[in-house]
Structure 1
Amino acid sequence: MSTPEMNIATFLAKSATHHPDHPAIVAGARTVTYREFYRRALSIGGELLARGLRRGDRVAFALHNSPEVLETVFGCIAAGLVAVPMNARLHAKEMGYIVRSSGAKVLIHGAAFTAEIDEHLGEFDGMQWRFEVGGTEGIEPYDRLLDSVTPLEAPVEVTADDASWLFYTSGTTGRPKGATWTHRTGRVVVVMNYLADVYNIDHDDVVLHAAPLSHGSGIVALPAIARGATNVILDALSFSPELLFDTVARHKVSHIAFLAPTQIVAILDKYDPDRFDLSTVKAVCYGGAPIYLEHLKAAVETFGPIFAQIYGQGEAPITVTGLTREMHARFAATDDPRLGSAGIARTDVEVRVVDADGTPVAPGEAGEIIVRGDVVMRGYWNNPEATVEALREGWLYTGDVGTFDDQGYLYLLDRTKDMVVSGGNNVYPREVEEVLITHPAVASVVVFGIPDEYWGEAVHAVVVTEPGHQVTAEELIRFCGENLAGYKKPKAVEFVPELPVSAYGKILRREVRDRYWTGHDRKVGGGARRVATATP
């Protein structure tokens, strides 16, 4: 029998004790103190348990960035329930699949999603309770969770291996898979190791969240809350560099929790030192996709040595390897090519680059990146086949191709899987292909990423039409938008008379894709003009 250990929500309990009146969350005109934040989380957890949920049950939510995201996460975790965040940009059909796959009994969502969820309610089998932030008649209001007559007195006891969070990440089968994070993952890896290896957040820090709280920025919120820092949420549904600058100046932001490379490009383009004061910013964490080396150099030159890079994935959250602020400063000053690397293995993480047999390769040689340590997920939720494929003898096989230099710096080169990273969002071609192939005018299709100066990679579709049928690229892109999140739609559709196939009739994706990458030194994230992950 497993021994009870510390619940992740204890971090919030301690901050509420030490700093009860300190602002925990600021969003527009709203301010929530640590005392109130903790009270709300205990109410949510207690009410869900009073409804009949039991430890280990899943609670899914679709919310735009707001205090409700963090309240829901900590309310679930405090009750021993499993939070299932969903990207707010997903289509309702995709949300429905995640609810069914996770077996979530509860769905919490914002009013912005109500109409689309209602339209596809049949996709949400298994959901027993539904709460809405915003108040539509006929749906239980989220506020009812905040007013429970049976709030928790404290976070419940859990074991280190109890699930706390399901992070749904797309898979090569075209269906998302739920990477299972435990309380140990959150407590030791996400919180303590972020503070140790990425940025040591302090109580006096003001942490800005400009990226989705359902993903990277929300994960960084955990160590910020553990330290009793103030979490400021950018008050906009879409990213605005000018609003970010104004928010930094108004709240004296010291740490920007997470930016995708596209957001760094955007702030570079809009920054005017005569208009905006960013002098309080000490650290900016970025990741989610590779960044062009010239963009990174320009960012360091413009904003100073404040950047910290992380490389990881949903199966190994936050950081597998990284480049500290000090490394950025040193490498930028000396034009060291290691500025273009993904950094070194984190303190308690072991990383190897191996060949097809799992044997480590020599520095300078390419192979698949594998990872070992507490950073690795417990497995994929209810997907033993995918778990066995990804986890072998204690190692996570990431599907990324890379190489080490002789000093242990990792360089990303390509992917063994076919994932496209566009603007920091993961898109798997199979998902898009499975939608396009259902269109009556499409006979065959292949989807992949092509270099894009702004997005890093753009989703591109090459289509063969059915004889006698005509369709435009705009029609197919619109068709995708009716079934997929907007960021998964192809940026362009190209029509060809035929696609190359193997002797077994399989479309040769790489053969089609490779011609778009001619002259590039890698096949991820743009890879042009001596980009950030050039081979040493």
Structure 2
Amino acid sequence: MVYQQKPWLKWYDSKIDEHVSVKYASLYDFLEDAVKRFGDKPAFTFYGKVFSYNETKAIVDRLSAHLHSKGFKKGDRVAIMLPNSPHYIFALFAIFRLGGIAVQVNPMYVEREIAFVLEDSGARYMFALDAFYPKVKKVQADTYLKHVVAIGFGEKIALAEGDKYFEEALQTPVTVEEAPINPFEDVAVLQYTGGTTGVPKGVMLTHSNLLSNFNQVCDAIYNACEDVPESFKMITVLPMFHVYGLSSVALCGLREGANQIVLPRFDVAEVIETVKREKPFIFAAVPTMYFGLNSQPELLKEAGFDQLYFVGSGGAPLPVEQAKAFKKITGASIMDGYGLSEAAPTVIFNPPFVPAKEGSIGIPVQSTIVRIVRETEDGEYVDVPVGEAGELIVKGPQVMKGYWNRPKDTEEALKDGWLHTGDIAKMDEDGYFYILDRSKDMIIASGYNVYPREVEEVLYQLEGVEEAIVIGLPDEYRGETVKAFVKLKEGAVVTEEEILQFGKDNLAPYKAPKAVEILAELPKSAVGKLLRRELRELELKKVQA
């Protein structure tokens, strides 16, 4: 029962309540509240173009009118395939206003992956960067998609009949009513995450899930700070197409009235120059971004990171040595955390008021219970003693509604209201948590989850491949890199280079194998099960040698 007693609460600042308070009826209601409070203050700055809070709402409302004019109904799914830009937020809240569901589409997806997400979600509308438009149109016939709004920042391209550029869509002369929302039941976002079965699953995040989580994060970061600048800046470089960048950064920025300096992608020199020029109040990134920053120590030490109130990390384990290197160069400490798409995403992190412990991911956020458990022979889950390893399970208002159209997967992940993460962790006597290992097969490459089964299923599509095992290996820059082991069919002639190219053609860059080894036989158990762990252990021994 020690976990239910929440020993971590003793670290909470007096200005942080045990339970999160959410005063908004919906995500669009939240935007309206922010606009009332911050009005003409800048909300987003994008390469010199500034959008105020008032302008943001005006664009959102016109965009929702356009969707309505195309027959949009509450519950319809709308895909968004954009790099970071204010337009992401415009599209997102236009969808929320009408009671729609935003489908997050990774801009790195290839045609096969785009088609799957569009078909699985049943998305009928889409916002896409015009550079991705040809890929979308190639797969449209195999999906439910009927209308695309293109966003471009350069020379326009020709669009198919019925599709519109963003600027044209804003000219729709219609006003529409805001859709009624049940925040606890109505899904706001489908966040696709990899699956151990090789099939990506749509995590259903409700309005309440997202409202709860970004308020949990904001309360922990800002409530205890007595000198939050009236007009402060933050750099939004974490991708909004991932719930970490969306919830913990972009939505938090809107709540606090920040001017978000939006960067479409991570570039070491650009980030350092932006921090130096803009002097942001906070900065959040994934470990590989910090690896990149650490690789340029002469530039990094002049950036001024030591002047920031909060420097955070998430999305993947942060190596202690990289955190130490960053502090040595900049004088700033990186505060690590833990989350997952199924929890919108933040569960645990190190807020500014908590003394950091080396290697710890911190303490749970408000209204959240975290337990470390083991499964008994009769299928019950019992708490392990403090300091011992077990599976980390979570209960809180940020935990997903379930997986889209996958009741069996939902049942396996959510048991008696607890989200089973599959991650191995421990809690110390002070209530601090430590991740010891992740779900046994998952790879985290450059902050993205890669499930070997999905990669293997693609490799099996290459003629000549009989068996495939995919593993993750330590990589100084990516955290982990993907390696494939392949057994060819008898008589087949396929080169390692051809396998690598096939992966590049059919998988997002972070999923595609970076190394391939063709073996005469792959290790198997007595019942013929391919032994991924055995290969990984052998490869790790080679690396360590």
Taking structure 1 as the reference length, the TM-score comes to 0.89
- Establish whether residue 76 from structure 1 lines up as the match of residue 104 from structure 2: no
Contact 2:446 2:479 in 1 (8 A): yes
> In the alignment, is the contact (CA less than 8 A) between 2:301 and 2:330 conserved in 1?
no
Distance 1:421 1:199 in 2: 30
> Is 2:169 the partner of 1:148?
no
Query: Is contact 2:287–2:446 with CA below 8 Å preserved after alignment?
Result: yes
Distance in 1 between the 2:148 and 2:206 partners? 25
> CA–CA distance in 2 between the matches of 1:94 and 1:265?
28
Q: Does residue 1:346 correspond to 2:365, yes or no?
A: yes
Map 1:372-451 → 2, pairs under 5 A: 372-451=395-474
Residue 413 of structure 1 aligns to a residue whose secondary structure is strand
Q: Distance in 1 between matches of 2:391 and 2:303?
A: 43
Q: How far 1:473 moved relative to its partner?
A: 2.1
Cα gap change, 1:198/1:421 in structure 2, threshold over 3 Å: closer, same or farther? farther
Instruction: Using the TM superposition, give the Cα deviation of residue 233 of structure 1 relative to its aligned residue in structure 2, in angstroms.
Output: 0.8
Is 1:188 matched up with 2:207?
no
Deviation at 1:74, TM superposition (A): 1.2
Q: Is the 1:289–1:424 contact (alpha carbons within 8 Å) kept by the matching residues of 2?
A: yes
Q: Identity over aligned residues, as a percent?
A: 34
Structure 2 equivalent of residue 208 of structure 1 = 235
| Contact 2:96 2:188 survives alignment (8 Å) | yes
C-alpha distance in 2 between matches for 1:464 and 1:354: 38
The aligned counterpart of 1:127 is: 145
- The separation in 2 between residues aligned to 1:210 and 1:509, in whole angstroms, is 35
Verify: 1:228 aligned to 2:228, yes or no. no
Q: Please list the CA deviations of residues 470-491 of structure 1 after superposition, one character each: whole Å capped at 9, or x if unmatched.
A: 3332221110111110110111
Distance in 1 (alpha carbons) for counterparts of 2:141 and 2:454: 20
Q: Give the conservation status (yes or no) of the 8 Å contact 1:205–1:229.
A: yes
Counterpart in 2 of 1:524? Answer: none
Structure 2 alignment gaps of length 5 or more: 1-22
Matched residue of 1:68: which SS?
A: helix
**Rounded Cα–Cα distance in structure 2 between residues aligned with 1:278 and 1:405:** 30
Task: Output aligned runs, 1:209-358, within 5 Å.
Answer: 209-215=236-242, 216-219=244-247, 220-234=249-263, 236=264, 238-256=265-283, 258-272=284-298, 275-278=302-305, 280-327=307-354, 330-331=355-356, 338-357=357-376, 358=381
- Compared with structure 1, are the counterparts of its residues 287 and 141 closer, same or farther at alpha carbon in structure 2 (3 Å cutoff)? same
Distance 1:443 1:207, change over 3 A: same
Call closer, same or farther: CA 1:203–1:88 in 2, change over 3 Å.
Answer: farther
Match of 1:487 in 2: 510
The corresponding residue for 1:503 is: 526
Structure 1, unpaired ranges of 5+: 332-337, 521-527, 530-536
User: CA separation of 1:155/1:27 partners in 2, compared to 1, >3 Å: closer, same or farther?
Assistant: farther
Separation (CA, whole Å) in 2 of partners of 1:122 and 1:202: 51
2:490 alignment counterpart: 467
The structural deviation recorded for 1:50 is 3.0
Is the partner of 1:450 in helix, strand or coil? Answer: strand
Q: Distance in 1 between matches of 2:415 and 2:286?
A: 30
Contact 2:306 2:332 in 1 (8 A): no
Deviations 1:235-292 (A, max 9, x none): x5x4211101111222222212x31101111112214267534454222221111121
Equivalent-residue separation in structure 1 for 2:333 and 2:291 (angstroms): 15
Alpha-carbon shift at residue 517 of structure 1 (Å) = 3.4
SS of alignment partner, residue 212 of structure 1: coil
Whole-angstrom CA distance in 1 between matches of 2:218 and 2:104:
23
**How far, CA to CA, are the matches of 2:221 and 2:305 in structure 1?**
20
Q: Which amino acid letter does the alignment assign opposite residue 143 of structure 1?
A: E
> Is the 1:442–1:463 Cα contact (8 Å) retained in structure 2?
yes
Kindly provide the amino acid, as one letter, of the partner of residue 445 in structure 1: A
Distance (whole Å) between structure 1 residues aligned to residue 229 and residue 399 of structure 2? 26
**Conserved? CA contact 2:468–2:487, under 8 Å:** yes
- Does residue 67 (structure 1) correspond to residue 86 (structure 2)? The answer is yes
> Match of 1:267, as an amino acid?
L
TM-score for both structures, normalised by structure 2? 0.88
Return the letter of the residue paired with 2:331: G
Cα distance in 2 between the residues matched to 1:487 and 1:48: 33
Distance 1:412 1:274 in 2: 30
Deviation at 1:62, TM superposition (A): 0.4
Greater Cα offset, 146-155 or 171-180: 146-155
Matched AA of 1:288: G
Letter in 2 for 1:136: I
* Aligned mates of 1:242, 1:203 — CA distance in 2: 28
Per the alignment, residue 21 of structure 1 pairs with 40
* TM-superposed deviation, 1:349: 0.9
Q: Which SS does the other structure have where 1:365 is aligned? A: coil
**Structure 1 counterpart of 2:11:** none
Deviation at 1:127, TM superposition (A): 1.1
Aligned AA (2:269): E
CA distance in 2, matches of 1:225, 1:363: 38
Residues 368 and 416, structure 1, Cα contact 8 Å, conserved in 2: no
Q: What residue number does 1:136 align with?
A: 157
Contact 1:368 1:401 in 2 (8 A): yes
Q: Deviations over 1:3-44 (max 9, x none)?
A: x96111222212222322211111112211111110011112
Structure 2 CA distance for partners of 1:29 and 1:446, relative to 1, 3 Å: same
Secondary structure of the equivalent of 2:73? coil
CA contact (8 A) 1:401 1:416 kept: yes
- Read off the aligned partner of 1:283 and give its amino acid letter: F
CA contact (8 A) 1:7 1:155 kept: no
